[in-house]
């Protein structure tokens, strides 16, 4: 009878431990928010708001400062707390950045004109050139 009672207690303890481990692992498995295509400064704000620490893992190009680079990929990972500490696990978002400043051309690397980033750059360039033309015509003296 004592062996049966000891077996039941052991099984119950194992079930509680397994439930705790499984629940803890699932609680940290939440994905980061979708920030691909955003500027890193905006993505960093969104990731921080969701409880993630952003870590730049890869950078392509060197024409822009990191806050102005576009996020191309985000992968989450959870770092366990330091052993024998009262700390908690850290949720990190590993971010890949594209820091090209222009569209690709025969003179240098950059965004493809068919990509959303390249189309965005082309639209921004045409709107800024239109604004510059408007301001120069407004600044010209009337004759």
Give residue-wise pLDDT tens across range 48-63.
999 999 999 999 988 8
Contacts of 73 (CB under 8 A, 6+ apart): 36, 95, 96
Question: Distance (Å, rounded) from C-alpha 122 to C-alpha 18?
Answer: 55
Tell the burial category of 104 from Cβ atoms under 10 Å away from its Cβ (0-12, 13-18, 19+).
middle
For residues 81 and 102, the model is more confident at: 81
Domains of the chain: 30-80+88-102 (3.30.10.20)
pLDDT at site 3: 57
């Amino acid at each position: 009878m004592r062996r049966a009672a000891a077996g039941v207690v052991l099984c119950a303890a194992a079930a509680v431990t397994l439930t705790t481990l499984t629940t803890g692992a699932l609680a940290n498995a939440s994905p980061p928010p979708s920030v691909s295509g955003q500027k890193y400064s905006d993505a960093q704000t969104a990731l921080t708001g969701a409880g993630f620490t952003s870590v730049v893992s890869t950078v392509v190009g060197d024409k822009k400062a990191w806050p102005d680079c576009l996020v191309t990929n985000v992968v989450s990972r959870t770092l366990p707390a330091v052993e024998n500490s009262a700390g908690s696990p850290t949720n990190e978002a590993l971010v890949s950045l594209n820091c090209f400043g222009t569209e690709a051309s025969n003179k240098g690397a950059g965004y493809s004109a068919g990509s959303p980033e390249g189309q965005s750059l082309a639209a921004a360039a045409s709107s800024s050139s239109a604004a510059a033309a408007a301001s120069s015509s407004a600044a010209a003296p009337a004759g």
